[in-house]
Structure 1
Amino acid sequence: MKLYYKAGACSLSPHIVALEAGLDIAIEAVDLKTKVTETGANFLEANPKGSVPALALDDGTVLTEGAVIAQYLADLAPASGLIPAAGSLGRYKVLEWLNFIATDLHKGFSPLFNPATPDDYKTVAKQNLDRRFAYLEAVLADGRSYLTGETFTVADAYAYVVLTWAGKVGVDLAAYPKLSAFFTRVGQRPKVQAALKAEGLLAA
């Protein structure tokens, strides 16, 4: 398998999941402006959407959409506990979190990365994110280590990656101590550190 990625983008989430699952996976960086990979390949041939992540399977099939790829990878290693069994309530709770992160958190950051976004709207976007952070703070206030309890799941990997963007757009998590502690806790996991190093985001 090969994961197409851009360092620090949402593709970092399935990269973390793959390492946490102990899967043998290759990675190939993509220049999202030129749509050319680090080997000189035309990325649009692998993923016509032009976005990362994309996962090329050994049979030539290509999966896209980070939350889906993370589920697929986790299901390849059920003993990892990264996602509960299909049909279980625990599975749907993790999927609930994946959808919240994708639609409320991930997309909430999008206007802040767009240089064309008016400053007034950026202020509104930050206020919207603050409400999402407050919700996460309240959930974590019961002392749980991760979003669904004491087991690290694909949802935690995705949430962590999105939260790494906060400092890049001038959003301060200091007002949310439980959320900040969660961010630090996930960031210290050995496989998370390994993914960051592999993408050049952390000194080797």
Structure 2
Amino acid sequence: MNSNLRRQPAAVLWDMDGTIVDTESHWIAAADEIVRAQGITPAPNALAALVGMSLADGAKLMRGLGVDLPLGELIDRHLECAMRNTALAGLTWRPGAVELLSKLRADGIPLALVTMSYRVYADVIIDALPKGLFDVVVTGDVVERGKPFPDAYVRAATLLAVEVQDCIAIEDSLIGLAAARSAGAHTVGVPHHSEIPTSAADAIWPTLRGRVVTDLRIPLA
């Protein structure tokens, strides 16, 4: 981050899909399958907007494309299809993510997973990671409002007993960065499926590869 960011954060709050693990495509493919099963051919990139969305907002997007299913059923189908896709494709970690997580854990910096995936899906990812990385897990099924609202990040900081303004959030999407900023966290954007303008985060890193604990600093109070 910028050279004037010199204080260790109270915690680092991590997005999951697209930031730690390359699973955004699994969710997009699941939505594409659901939409096409209704006889609808989505426009190119129409489903790319799902990146960073809550499952409820994703279901609303699909309904907007013409999918005629109740919201709850659509969420359940999307989750089921995404879990199947992930089971079939396996997990590919984003470059440097697991390494940086492990370095932060070794240094004793509190870590939270803040994802719009539901807990049953997040547990698949958590179980494949080194044990005990996260002190707190906040998933999309435990907050009333998903990203871009601040609720999930505020909840994570509260559970960690830290001030969210003293935390850094790492995100790959504009929706996620908006949520973190709205909560008051400092932000690092790591683009994957979509571009992130420099104005959307405090720092933009093309990758987490080679990053170390001292790269994550916030302004002195």
Q: Greater RCO between the two (CA within 8 Å, min separation 6)?
A: 2
Determine which structure has the larger helix proportion and give its number.
Answer: 1
TM-score by length of structure 1 reads 0.28
